[in-house]
């Protein structure tokens, strides 16, 4: 078990370094609960230390001081009151249960050991600096999964939040402090970046099940036991299997008959045209961010792809491809032609409704449309670095296809 906890961060550091920091976040709720418990116990501990010192001093003075004896008695009474209050809160907490778990000390040690996992990679200090450098750059401001989550567009997240709130507000079900920390932390992370929604749903489902189990125990103490016995038998296991298969089929059903690659999102036919009609060894293609990876899959050199880090100066010093792409695609700069010249762009592939087409339509003498399938278009630059390319005759049918 312990070796597995150490192997996981090493695997993350070598396969998906962006996820590595979130591995350590999962330790924090348990450490936080442990610290809160220590702070809660510190009041009694301090008074016990004070009582011990006074008792030693009283013995040294021969127990002759009534003032010291009175202080000792008052201190004992105060310690007893605090101890009874602490015991009462632990036996019957109002809403939050602070569990006693001395194994957290070992968990802290394991976390400290796991912090060295980034050293077991060929990436140097990247596992430790990646998140910081990413947040410094501009890529997170434009990539969809890094943007803040908006509730109105995320029904799954709304339902999950409402379930938690309904159980905690309208029932007397209690929640562990570590679970509350975990739930609150993941909610904040998800609002900060929508990519954390999957992490929220995967982890908090266990907290939700625990709360539901505790809630049913209030009304039917033996109910959860009966359910557990039923579902561990053949009949119960069969019911679970059938439900899982039905849900899986319902999720898969809309995808039956779909092509492996969605031609509405990826330039499948346009890539065929490029490979059949253009010399990919000698062209410089400008493409958009979302389908760059598909072009690489088709072995077509790209201007940019979804590995944003490669195209940002934070990870590739002197490289401003990502920023230039944002400026070009959004028509945010006036020197688009100069940027194309700097990169030696000879051809442009884009969605048919791309904003950049407005710029191209304003300079028809510099660009020639050589492909249009209704979803994607390809232009050839007729002037690049002052050299004029030979115009080619392009035939299209009524639908715009070549």
Helix ranges, 193-222 (H): 197-219
> Is there a contact between 327 and 333 (Cβ–Cβ < 8 Å)?
yes
Q: What local confidence, expressed as pLDDT, does residue 281 receive?
A: 92
Q: What local confidence, expressed as pLDDT, does residue 93 receive?
A: 78
Q: What local confidence, expressed as pLDDT, does residue 123 receive?
A: 85
Q: What local confidence, expressed as pLDDT, does residue 65 receive?
A: 60
Low-confidence ranges of the chain (pLDDT < 70): 1, 57-65, 383-402
In whole angstroms, what is the distance from residue 31 CA to residue 103 CA? 10
Query: What are the contacts of 266-272 at 24+ separation with CB within 8 A?
Result: 266/291, 266/294, 267/291, 267/294, 267/295, 267/349, 267/375, 267/376, 268/294, 269/373, 269/376, 270/349, 270/371, 270/373, 270/376, 270/378, 271/295, 271/298, 271/300
Q: What local confidence, expressed as pLDDT, does residue 391 receive?
A: 40
Q: What local confidence, expressed as pLDDT, does residue 156 receive?
A: 86
In whole angstroms, what is the distance from residue 106 CA to residue 111 CA? 9
Q: What local confidence, expressed as pLDDT, does residue 227 receive?
A: 84
Q: What local confidence, expressed as pLDDT, does residue 153 receive?
A: 85
Q: What local confidence, expressed as pLDDT, does residue 352 receive?
A: 94
CB atoms within 10 A of CB 388: 10
């Amino acid at each position: 078990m312990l070796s597995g906890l150490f192997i996981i961060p090493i695997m993350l550091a070598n396969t998906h370094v962006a996820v590595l920091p979130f591995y350590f976040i999962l330790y924090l709720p348990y450490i936080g609960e442990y610290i809160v418990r220590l702070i809660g116990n510190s009041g009694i501990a301090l008074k016990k230390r004070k009582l011990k010192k006074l008792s030693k001093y009283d013995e040294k003075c021969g127990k002759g001081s009534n003032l010291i004896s009175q202080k000792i008695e008052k201190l004992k009474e105060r310690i007893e009151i605090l101890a009874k209050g602490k015991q009462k809160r632990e036996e019957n907490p109002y809403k939050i249960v602070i569990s006693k778990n001395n194994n957290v000390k070992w968990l802290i040690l394991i976390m400290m050991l796991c912090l060295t996992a980034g050293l077991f990679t060929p990436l140097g200090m990247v596992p430790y600096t990646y998140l910081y450098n990413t947040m410094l750059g501009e890529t997170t401001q434009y990539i969809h999964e890094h943007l803040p989550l908006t509730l109105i567009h995320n029904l799954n997240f709304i339902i999950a939040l409402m379930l938690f709130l309904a159980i905690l507000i309208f029932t007397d079900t209690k929640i562990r402090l570590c679970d509350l920390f975990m739930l609150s932390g993941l909610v904040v992370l998800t609002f900060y970046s929508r990519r954390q929604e999957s992490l929220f749903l995967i982890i908090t489902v266990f907290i939700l099940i625990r709360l539901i189990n505790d809630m049913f125990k209030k009304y039917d103490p033996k109910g959860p036991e009966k359910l557990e016995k039923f579902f561990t038998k053949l009949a119960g296991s069969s019911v679970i299997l059938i439900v899982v298969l039905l849900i899986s089929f319902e999720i898969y059903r809309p995808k039956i008959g779909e092509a492996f690659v969605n031609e509405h999102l990826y330039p499948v036919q346009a890539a065929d045209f490029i490979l059949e009609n253009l010399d990919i060894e000698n062209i410089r293609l400008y493409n958009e961010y979302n389908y760059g990876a598909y072009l690489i899959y088709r072995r077509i050199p790209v201007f940019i792809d979804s590995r944003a880090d490669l195209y940002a100066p934070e990870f590739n010093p002197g490289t401003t491809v990502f920023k230039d792409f944002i400026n070009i695609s959004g028509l945010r700069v006036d020197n688009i032609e100069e940027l194309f010249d700097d990169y030696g762009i000879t051809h442009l592939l884009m969605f048919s409704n791309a904003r950049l087409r407005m710029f191209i339509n304003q300079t028809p003498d510099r660009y020639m449309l050589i492909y249009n399938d209704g979803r994607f278009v390809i232009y050839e630059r007729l002037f690049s670095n002052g050299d004029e390319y030979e115009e080619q005759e392009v035939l299209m049918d009524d639908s715009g296809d070549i």
